[in-house]
């Protein structure tokens, strides 16, 4: 007789497994992945593989009283007689039970198919117990295809959301989904990819597929309102002007700054909150452009955090920081020239002061200084607040230059706390104070890089690149 396949939702459900061998461990792993609350009963000591796993382990032997509080029961001991006892007792108590052994006198309620998963797509194969090894082999053979179907599933899910909003008639939606899931449609997806498939879906709908696009501008953030709008706001406005058909959103990565701004009544999202919001609003295409200067730890963390959302939209590319590729350095120097931030001079020294980092991305500051020298800017030095080159190293270079006039240039997006306190502050350990203590006449320019149109256009160019890459 054919069994009846179902997919159980076990989140928070109590399940018990008798046994701690290899099969029992597989059962436990699957239950935990499904969100079940698992209890294991076995006579041996708790296996090392479960030392840091959230489950209840009872060292002892099977007893019928142990069955009372559980939704599912798994008989996975190495003793067929005990397994049969567990099956019979579970069924007497109205519990659903599975066993790893067969017994004609006590047939279990369910068996577990061979499963392979990728995202929301799960493949379950059973041979009704006649050839379990074959079920496993079939699953392994079909596994490479599941990743493709996961992408297809994401596409169809997004289409469902969009079509539900614009097509009120349920039957019409059903007919559309039948068209885009025919064997021919699936073949089109496999052979020509996602874009061709979406175009086909658009044709079935009878119009061009409308891509609801959003641009998410991600910054570390600042609580200084004036510089925030002069820099971050200016970059966002430049982007918005260049992409009038897209909606531009803001997110800050600094939770401390987000919290501080909310306390003053200013609403600002973290990155995860922004992504969740964009998904709820039905955007199908999201472009993320960070406003970082170098690809340091913040950028690395951003990419890692966004990885979990990669299949939430049709397209979800992430742009690069300002200094990521070799060609970025001469472009930044050109922008600094155009903005009047640096000039060739024999009487004045320019000192570009960046944030710096212990991350390998700090090498970008050294590369920038090298590019400046090769561009004829022997009067421009680069230093960092928290990285390399340090203030002490910069002082040694300044002493060799023999020039007493130093212009401090914050090489940060915003003129926030680091600029106001660490660079231009009056405390004795600020860059301005230390330089003055060493006999230099210091001028500080209190503008973040984001305030300059030429710099804004560089961020825009990085965004335009990822847009062009998927067009």
SS3 of 289, please? strand
Nearest CA to 75 out of 50, 36, 34, 103 is that of: 103
In our burial notation (b when 16+ CB lie closer than 10 A, e otherwise), range 24-40 reads: bbebbeebbeeebbbbb
Return d(Cα 390, Cα 392) in angstroms, integer.
5
Please, where are the H alpha helices in 313-406?
Answer: 328-338, 363-374, 391-401
Q: Is 204 exposed, middle or buried (0-12, 13-18, 19+ CB in 10 A)?
A: middle
Return d(Cα 346, Cα 195) in angstroms, integer.
57
Helix (H) or strand (E) holding 408: strand 405-410
The first and second tokens of residue 375, run together, are 């561009």
Return d(Cα 216, Cα 309) in angstroms, integer.
13
| DSSP β-bridge partners for residue 251 | 218, 269
| DSSP β-bridge partners for residue 116 | 123
Dihedral angle sign, alpha carbons of residues 136, 138, 141, 142: negative
Q: Is 9 exposed, middle or buried (0-12, 13-18, 19+ CB in 10 A)?
A: exposed
DSSP E strands, 310-347: none
Catalytic pick among 355, 359, 374, 418: 355
Specify the DSSP class assigned to residue 10: -
344 is a catalytic site residue: no
Return d(Cα 422, Cα 445) in angstroms, integer.
13
CB-based contact 75:19 (threshold 8 Å): yes
Q: What is the 3-state secondary structure (H, E, C) of 66-86?
A: HHCCCCEEEECCCCHHHHHHH
Active site residues: 355
């Amino acid at each position: 007789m054919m069994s009846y396949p179902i997919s159980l939702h076990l989140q928070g459900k109590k399940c018990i497994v008798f046994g701690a061998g290899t099969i029992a461990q597989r059962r436990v792993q699957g239950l935990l992945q499904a969100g079940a609350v698992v209890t294991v009963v076995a006579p041996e000591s708790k296996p090392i593989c479960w030392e840091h796993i959230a489950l209840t382990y009872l060292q002892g032997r099977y007893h019928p009283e142990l069955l009372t509080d559980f939704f599912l029961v798994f008989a996975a001991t190495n003793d067929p007689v005990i397994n049969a006892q567990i099956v019979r007792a579970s069924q007497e108590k109205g519990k659903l039970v599975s066993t790893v052994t067969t017994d004609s006198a006590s047939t279990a309620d369910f068996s577990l198919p061979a499963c392979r998963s990728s995202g929301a797509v799960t493949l379950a194969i059973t041979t009704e117990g006649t050839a379990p090894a074959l079920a496993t082999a079939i699953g392994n053979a079909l596994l490479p295809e599941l990743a493709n179907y996961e992408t297809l599933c994401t596409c169809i899910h997004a289409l469902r959301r969009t079509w539900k909003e614009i097509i009120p008639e349920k039957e019409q939606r059903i007919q559309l989904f039948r068209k885009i899931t025919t064997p021919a449609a699936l073949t089109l997806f496999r052979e020509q990819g996602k874009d061709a498939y979406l175009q086909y879906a658009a044709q079935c709908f009878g119009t061009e597929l409308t891509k609801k696009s959003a641009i998410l501008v991600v910054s570390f953030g600042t609580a200084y309102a004036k510089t925030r709008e002069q820099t971050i706001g200016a970059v966002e406005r430049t982007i918005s002007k260049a992409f009038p058909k897209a909606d531009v959103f803001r997110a800050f990565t600094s939770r401390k700054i987000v919290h501080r701004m909310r306390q003053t009544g200013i609403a600002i999202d973290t990155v995860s909150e922004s992504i969740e919001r964009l998904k709820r609003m039905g955007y199908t295409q999201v472009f993320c452009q960070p406003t970082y200067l170098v690809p340091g730890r913040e950028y690395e963390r951003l990419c890692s955090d966004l990885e979990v959302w990669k299949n939430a939209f049709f397209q979800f590319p992430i742009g690069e920081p300002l200094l990521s590729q070799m060609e970025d350095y001469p472009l930044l120097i050109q922008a600094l020239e155009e903005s009047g931030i640096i000039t060739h001079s024999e009487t004045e020294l320019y000192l570009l002061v960046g944030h710096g980092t212990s991350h390998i991305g700090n090498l970008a500051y050294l590369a920038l200084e090298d590019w400046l020298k090769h561009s004829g800017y022997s009067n421009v030095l680069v230093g960092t607040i928290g990285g390399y080159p340090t203030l002490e190293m910069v002082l040694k270079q300044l002493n060799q230059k023999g020039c007493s006039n130093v212009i401090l240039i914050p090489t940060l997006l915003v003129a926030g706390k680091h600029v106001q306190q660490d660079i231009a502050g009056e405390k004795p350990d600020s860059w301005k104070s230390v330089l003055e203590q060493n006999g230099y006449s210091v001028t500080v320019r209190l503008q973040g890089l984001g305030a300059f149109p030429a710099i804004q256009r560089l961020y825009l160019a990085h965004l335009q690149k990822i847009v062009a890459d998927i067009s």
